[in-house]
Structure 1
Amino acid sequence: MIHGKIAVCVVGAGRAGMIHAVNFAKHVPQTILAAIVDTDRTAAKAAAEKLGAENYYTSCNEALSDERIDAFIVVSPTKYHMETVKAIAASGKHILCEKPMAMTENECDEMIRVCQENKVKLQIGFMRRFDESFRQAKEMVDCGEIGDVVMVRSNTRGPSIPKPWMYDIKKSNGPLAEVNSHDIDTMRWFTGSEFQTLYAVGGNYRCPDARTEFPDFYDNVVLAASFANGMQGILDGAQGVGYAYDAKVEVLGTKGCISIGSVRGKDVLLCSSATQKGNYPLVESWRNLFKDAYLKEDRAFIDCIVQDTEPFVTGMDGKMAVRVVNAGNISIMEKRMVTL
């Protein structure tokens, strides 16, 4: 600890990393931002200076030498998550790991095992569970306001073209992982069940630069699923849509339906990638839409350390999402239904 506060180190100074870093530096009273880690020394230094962090490093191993640090926020590329989390857990530090948790289920199992062996907290970054609208809808479902849940439909469509490294499905696990992990977790959360069967189709409609070298890459995906408890699910994901950051959920029950997201009744909404204008202001980024949810997520992580309680979003939640991502990619590539 530093000055009687929980000392936090953020690993990754990108967009999501900086959201967490700002929260721990300014908005979570029990914490102090002790360090920033980024392989780009210039980015690490700039972030540390901007937020008043005492130190910055170019590797997580360097940061682990500072025994005062109590917890790490892992916001590095997915392929590095397992080794990074294992090293942090072995040093006895608590961990908030951004989604996707890892590349494979086996990697998730290893992360869970090492954290349990070293008795450290492992929380996964599904911040939508902390969003006020999502939580209100979940309470309504749990209270039976729409009867029994029949179907959950969740979509996330991002406005920007993917980064070039995402084109290689073997390295990124594709949009199902990078974009739609949140939808997968949302569907599990609202159904209270696990995916049983799924069928997914994907296609590359907006990224011509990827077609020759990465023929398996998809920027649009539709996934239909059944759950172990008999409920149904539909996932709709896209990258590079241009018009807005578009995240919506519908929970259909036997006696009604709950909608989360922008629903305007009979309004006619024009969404154009050419003008980026509609009949009312559109959400430009997930950073705006879920700003408060990230803060509540970060506060919940610190609370589970202070109170020694189980994280609200566990390693098992992360693993189950990775399982569905991998099964969905198999379904897309092999054009068949997959049973989990």
Structure 2
Amino acid sequence: MMKRDIRVCIIGAGRAGMIHAVNFRKNVPNAVLAAIADPNEQAAKQAAESLGIHTYYTDYKEALKSDAIDAVVVVTPTIYHRNIVVEAAEAGKHVLCEKPMGMIESECEDMIQAANNNRVKLQIGFMRRFNESFMQAKEEIEAGLIGDVVMVRSLTRGPSIPQPWMYDLKKSNGPLAEVNSHDIDTLRWFIGAEFESVYAIAGNYRCPEAKEQFPDFYDNVVLNARFTNQKQGVIDGAVSVKYGYDSRVEILGTEGVIFIGQVHEKTILTANRNGITRPVMNSWRSLYKDAYLAEDAHFVECILEDKEPKVTGHDGKMAVSVVNAGNKSIKEGQIVRLTS
């Protein structure tokens, strides 16, 4: 019997939404891009036209009513994730939800419960787990190539100024959520345990326009962590760094170390009388392009073969709990223990 193509609607026509949209339109086996949904009609219409599809919605609820849609990818601001994912699950649609999964743990629990109750797949968008170097590092850790993991250090620094809504921590949970959710998941995955306690410090050094209205916004953060297996973790996060997109990981073991990532986009280096130049990575969209595609293909594979996604709602919930513990530590200036 031939497999039927999974018909996908992207909810959110922003930068990340369009990455998923292009993948499902052209590159994901056994999938078709059925529709785009965005409350901004101009954005939704332009996205549909650029992708060569006819169907777009300004209200995602209309998309959920359609029998011509089997699954949705939720790529909206975090505050809307809970309601969209729950409603999608109740409509019988499979869900790939971008990170951060939610604002607080109870939202994540609602989403997990709705997916379970309605027997639909729920996958969270930690695409780094689908990156070749990350996957190889995980294999090498499990093979004991660096002995026992002692400490994982992960950094993500973005070049661009945050979108205005991100300044409001009540809407975004700050850079720990928007930028460093990936680093949190990376530490959990490579260390193989849950966060036990965190201590975080932060400050606003590059975004003076946010200081008056949002005094608690930070554009630089360092988080130290201890895990339930007593291993150690460090996260370094920053936005508006100007110099490029920077994503690197260091995994220190008892018998060696693994390094992932580099600042440079290409291996070319040019030297002349003006000095040395080498292209710097300019965007997460180019660095993780293949990982996004592998993530999207895995989502469809899980639906067709009735498999558990590699990145579950529990993984998303655990990252959200660490974000909130980190923000509490920043605010209170002390170590915060995570409840089991």
Q: How do 1:250-289 and structure 2 match up within 5 A?
A: 250-262=250-262, 279-289=277-287
Aligned partners of 1:40 and 1:113: how far apart in 2? Answer: 30
Counterpart CA distance in 2 for 1:5 and 1:253 is 44
Q: 1:273 is matched with which residue?
A: none
Distance in 2, matches of 1:331 and 1:219, equals 16
Q: Deviations over 1:288-334 (max 9, x none)?
A: 00000000000000000010000010000000000000000000011
SS at match of 2:302: helix
Residue 272 of structure 2 corresponds to which residue in structure 1? none
Q: How far, CA to CA, are the matches of 1:34 and 1:171 in structure 2? A: 30
| Conservation of the 8 A alpha-carbon contact between 2:245 and 2:263 | no
Aligned partner of 1:41 in structure 2 is 41
Residues of 2 paired with 1:148 and 1:259: CA distance? 15
**Residue 290 (structure 1) aligns with:** 288
Instruction: Give the drift of 1:42.
Output: 0.9
1:180-224 deviation per Cα after TM superposition (whole angstroms, max 9, x unaligned): 000000000000000001100000000001111111110000000
What amino acid maps onto 1:7 in structure 2? R
Cα separation, 2, equivalents of 1:13 and 1:322: 24
Residue 26 of structure 2: aligned partner: 26
- Any idea what SS the aligned residue of 1:161 has? coil
For residues 138-177 of structure 1, what are the structure 2 equivalents within 5 Å? Answer: 138-177=138-177
* Cα shift at 1:6: 1.0
Question: Which string of whole-angstrom CA distances, capped at 9 and with x for unpartnered residues, describes residues 87-144 of structure 1?
Answer: 1000111000000000000000000001100000000000000001111111111100
CA positional deviation for 1:29: 2.3
Q: Alignment partner of 1:197: what SS? A: strand
**CA-CA distance at 1:279 after TM superposition:** 4.0
The correspondence of residues 217-256 of structure 1 with structure 2, limited to 5 A, is 217-256=217-256
In structure 1, the residue matched to 2:323 is 325
| Superposition deviation, residue 148 in structure 1 | 0.2
1:272 aligns with: none
> Counterparts of 2:307 and 2:316 in 1: how far apart (Å)?
18
In the TM superposition, structure 1's runs of 4+ consecutive aligned residues that sit over 4 Å from their partners are none
Q: Which runs of 5+ in 1 are unaligned?
A: 270-276
Partners of 1:206 and 1:321 in 2: how far apart? Answer: 26
TM-score of the two chains, using structure 2 as the length reference: 0.94
CA RMSD of aligned residues (A): 1.6
Contact 2:79–2:102, Cα closer than 8 Å, also in 1: yes
- Alpha-carbon distance in structure 1 between the residues aligned to 2:227 and 2:134: 20
Q: Which amino acid aligns with 1:60?
A: Y
Any idea what SS the aligned residue of 1:32 has? strand
| 2:312 aligned residue | 314
Tell me the distance in 2 between the aligned counterparts of 1:101 and 1:257: 31
Q: Give the distance between the partners of 1:235 and 1:46, measured in 2 at CA.
A: 38
- Inter-partner Cα distance in structure 2 for 1:153 and 1:219: 19
Partner Cα distance (1:100, 1:170) in 2: 14
Task: Look up the SS of the partner of 1:85 in the other structure.
Answer: helix
In structure 1, distance between residues paired with 2:231 and 2:53:
47
Q: Which residue of 2 aligns with 1:187?
A: 187
Q: TM-score, normalised by structure 1?
A: 0.94
Between the aligned partners of 2:333 and 2:276, the Cα distance in structure 1 is 37
Tell me how far 1:263 sits from its aligned partner.
7.6
Quote the residue 2:97 is aligned against.
97
Distance 2:259 2:43 in 1: 40
| 3-state secondary structure, aligned to 1:73 | strand
Aligned match for 1:304, one of 302, 305, 325? 302
Q: Distance in 2 between matches of 1:279 and 1:252?
A: 31
| CA-to-aligned-CA distance 1:256-285 (integer Å, 9 cap, x gap) | 000000189xx9x9xxxxxxx974211000
Secondary structure of 2:73's aligned partner:
strand
Distance 1:21 1:164 in 2: 24
Question: 3-state SS of the aligned residue for 2:243?
Answer: coil
In the aligned structure 1, how far is the partner of 2:123 from the partner of 2:185?
14
- Secondary structure of the residue aligned to 2:233 is strand
Output the amino acid matched with 1:67: D
